[in-house]
A and B are shown apart, each in its own frame.
Chain A
Amino acid sequence: MLKIRVMPTLLYKDVGLVKGSKFDSTRRVGSVLQSVKVYNLREVDELVFLDIAATPAGRRPDFQLIDDIADECFMPLTVGGGVRTLADVRQLLAVGADKVALNTSAVENPALVREAAEAFGTQCVVVSIDARRHPSGIYEVFTHCGTRATGLRPADYAREVEARGAGEILVTSIDRDGTMQGYDTELVRDVSKAVTIPVIASGGAGTYEHMEQVLRTTEAAAVAAASMFHFTERTPREAKLHLRAAGFAVRL
């Protein structure tokens, strides 16, 4: 049986890891390579590394840093942030990323998703969707690290990128980011129902029960968490023990 994946997310800014909060403020939490080594020792299912400062700063990915991270990583690694061109995707895969996450560039340059899928296979193209809930209850996709509205509805946009060749979707609630108050299950449900590719729920995890809840009420195939793993004593392994007791298939 395919196992539910529990994935730590590393948010990187400037020279270190940071903790985000509603995409609005960040706090430094330490060295990235040290964290990667620890997660590798703990045999986590998969790791997501997002360079959140790259796109707002107009910078390309830090290929040397990704190379160093990948050398420590004997588990699947998804890398995002600042990926603009097919050459960026190629170079990230060449230095050891297994999957590349496209966010702003997937909106601005729709052809990039298809080109990357055709060149490297659909399995390595992750489209990262950041969405915010309006007071009316309607959701909207934002780019540039949550600063630019697109007018796109997350579920429609997810279907569109699936058709273009995305192999997986990482959906993050901007409102819940860093709050540790639980995933936005409505957002995750809408997006995961709209597509047949795997969806990773992200944004808001604070407890193991939050993970259980989003898995019970949506069709997400994986749960990602950043603050919960970096700021509390909770670990991916204990999250999986909890999920196993709740009846989910996990890898321990």
Chain B
Amino acid sequence: MIIYRYILNKCIKTIFICFLSSYSIFFIFSLVGNLNENISFLSIILLSLINSFQIFVYIPSYLIILSLIILLILLKSKNELLIIKEYLSINRTIIVFIPIILFFIIFDLNKNHLNEISNNIKSKFIINENYNELKIIYNKDENKENYRVLKNIDTKETKIGEYLFFNVQNQKITLAEYNINTRPIGDKIISQESFHYKDDNFANFLSKEIIFENIFYYIETTKKYFNLNKKQNKKNSIINLNQYFFISLFYLITTLIIFKKKMVDRNLSLTKVSLTILTIFFYYLIINEIHLNNYDLIFQLISTLILLTIFFNLKKNE
């Protein structure tokens, strides 16, 4: 138990030091870059702090890669790795790292959400003319498509300058709506006057009607495009499931490489090990960013399969 606690403590300490030193470097980099922003210095500092955090959000795996490489150097320099390997099998070593790996997997999976939160906070510090200029909410099925466009949104007053709605069936515009005179009631937008297009006819309506609901969900985020297609989301959920597996495999492989039997050898070149880890790291980053129009699922599955093969190969050689 002592050895478990010792490794875990040492690893957390290393991650913490790596995080702080990297964060400081990113902060300086961001601070220098943000000095031109037309906002108060305090806002620049806060903006730089968020920007630095966002670099970790983009690539959270970087932190664990760096920390594990440094941990390996530390453990090797005092021959502690030899003792660890003497007492713990590779499976047990992985168990020690499970909490850390889990933390990074969760972080990695939620990085888009965290990025969005960071962007929302950032938008409060920067007066950006384009911000909330436009929102597009759409639902595209096989034969039926709906598009809603919100233009010139005033987030403070919950007002929409222009509201557009288009309905398309079999590649023909069947219905359209245009509103400029709107007012908010709670989270709903009420139209006072609207202009309709239906079956080649245009008509003006003066009646009050609810044209948009749940407005806060859309305007309180910097996100611009909202796809409501459930079928697309279902397809995405299979890809997501594969992604969970892919990310988990990546972290497991990294840990396996760091703590494999050969590492005890004092003559083993750390540069070679670091290069191996970096190659897997780049592979992981690239695959995560590639989205194909066709056969995307197959492509993602093959990528996972490659990692799975590496994982079993490493396990076999232990």
* A and B together in one complex: no
Chain B residues in contact with chain A, CB under 8 A?
none
A→B interface (CB under 8 Å): none
